[in-house]
Amino acid sequence: MSREKENVRTISNPATLYVCGVTPYDTTHLGHARTYLVFDILQRYLAYLGTPVRYVQNVTDVDDPLIAKANELGMPYLELAQQNIDIFLNDMRTMNMLMPAVYPRATEEIPWMIDTIGVLMSQGMAYAREGSVYFRAGKFPSYGRMSRLDFSQMLSRDKETGEDPADPNKEDPLDFRLWQAAQPNEPVWESPWGPGRPGWHIECSTMASRHLGNRIDFHGGGEDLIFPHHCSEIAQSEIATGESPFVRYWMHVGMVYMDGEKMSKSLGNMAFVRDLAPRFGADALRWYLLGFPYREQFEYFESALAKSQRDWDQVAAHTKPAEGNPSAQGEALRQRALAALDDDLDTPNALAALRDLATLVSHEGNPGDRAILRSLLTMLGFRLDESGSRPS
């Protein structure tokens, strides 16, 4: 929220983490993999420091893009969703990601979403028109503050994500749907306002609070979710629960680009985990993605991934199990890697320290230094010599 690095001070034990999951109509491209890898590293490092994490990641299995894709393919939307959820979960296992404690699907949580909407209605922050329910964004004084967008920019972003500022049922163009009245060829549920389905933003507000409580330590996703999704979550959640701030620490992951455009399902410019992991190895793919600062955008090139695979192979060659006391230089490199992770999860500098540690092991052969290298890589989720970590 402050756009500054801040010391993590008061957090729960276990720490609570909510990450916005996929809308399962096509998955899992490198942009997805990078986002969930960042939060995998956050969990692993917090656990290493002695703080376990309760992790919730949702599935948006009812939303405009999924319904449109299913209608285009002429298949039930839940069947399409399940196909892609299965692919996604398999890709996450391939990448050795820590799985969530709770993996709620939006379609299974709708009664609680209706309850949350009812609370917002009772507080005068929402209104019903023609079977839809809207949130009064203008009545939440800091609406959109995290985005740093002005009014016209927020309206433009709303249009990009399927919200119509010109909807005649709205009191204000920035108001957003909590409940959408039934539409042709769309799934519907009964509600006090008539048949329909929940809006996108209320899904995550409800699931986050239901499974993690009214105040969350860490919440994140891709940077494209800052507005309107996360700004709308803040407004809904803080009004519905009376707790502020809704989230102590927001983390947003930079987009991955390909062919000069943001890697996205809508554009079709995607590189998939299921294609890359068998060719390059899941550990090499993890090494590659951690080579960029998590908040920064980068462009994917296969040649860069191939180079990263070669770098990884040089490091992995020095990770056989070993015991012993580290050298002073080895211990200094361990501290350098940990200091980098302390500094806003600076994985590029952490990997640089581990690369130097592998070089030290290669030259000096100290088993204690080898043990440190193996321990740190394991903490970061590398499988090392386990089955499946390298291409066949």
Euclidean distance between CA atoms 267 and 285, whole angstroms: 23
Report the top-level CATH class of 284-292+301-379.
mainly alpha
The answer to whether residue 336 scores a pLDDT higher than 70 is yes
Residue 392: pLDDT over 60: no
Q: What per-residue confidence (pLDDT) applies to 18?
A: 98
Q: Is the pLDDT of residue 360 over 70?
A: yes
Q: 132-135 and 176-181: which strand pairing? A: antiparallel
- pLDDT of the residue at 10: 84
pLDDT tens-place string over residues 148-160: 999 999 999 999 9
What percent of the chain is predicted at pLDDT more than 70? 98
pLDDT digits (tens, 9 = 90+) for 212-253: 999 999 999 999 999 999 999 999 999 999 999 999 999 999
Q: Per-residue pLDDT for 387 more than 70?
A: no
Residue 50's contacts (CB-CB under 8 Å, 6 or more residues apart) are: none
Segment 298-325, tens digit of pLDDT: 999 999 999 999 999 999 999 999 999 9
What residues does each domain of the chain span?
15-258, 284-292+301-379
Mean pLDDT over all residues of the chain?
Answer: 95
Which whole number is the average pLDDT over 14-18? 98
Q: What architecture is domain 15-258? A: 3-Layer(aba) Sandwich (3.40)
In the sheet that holds 126-129, the strands lie side by side as: 126-129, 132-135, 176-181, 196-198
Q: What is the per-residue pLDDT for 264?
A: 79
Least confident of 6-10, 140-144, 223-227: 6-10
Calculate what percentage of the chain has a pLDDT beyond 90: 93
> 12 CB contacts (<8 Å, ≥6 apart)?
217
Q: Is there a contact between 230 and 219 (Cβ–Cβ < 8 Å)?
A: yes
pLDDT score at 333: 98
Residues 6+ apart with CB under 8 A from 336: 349, 353
C-alpha separations of 234 from 12, 63, 86, 158, 179 in Å: 19, 20, 30, 16, 17
Mean pLDDT within 18-24 = 96
Query: If you write DSSP's letter for every residue of 69-125 in order, what string do you get?
Result: HHHHHTS-HHHHHHHHHHHHHHHHHHTTPPPPSB--BGGGSHHHHHHHHHHHHHTTS
Tell me the average pLDDT across 356-381: 97
Range list of H helices, 242-292:
273-280, 282-289
Partners of 189 in the β-ladder: 196
- Give, to the nearest 10 degrees, the angle between helix 77-94 and helix 273-280: 20
pLDDT score, position 386: 59
- Check whether 293 has a pLDDT greater than 70: yes
Rg (CA), the chain: 22
pLDDT for the residue 9: 87
Q: How confident is the model at residue 390 (pLDDT cuts 50, 70, 90)?
A: low
Kindly report the pTM of this predicted structure: 0.96
Task: Identify which has the larger pLDDT, 27 or 197.
Answer: 197
Contact 384, 374 (CB under 8 A): yes
Q: What is the DSSP letter of 390?
A: S
Helix (H) or strand (E) holding 36: helix 30-48
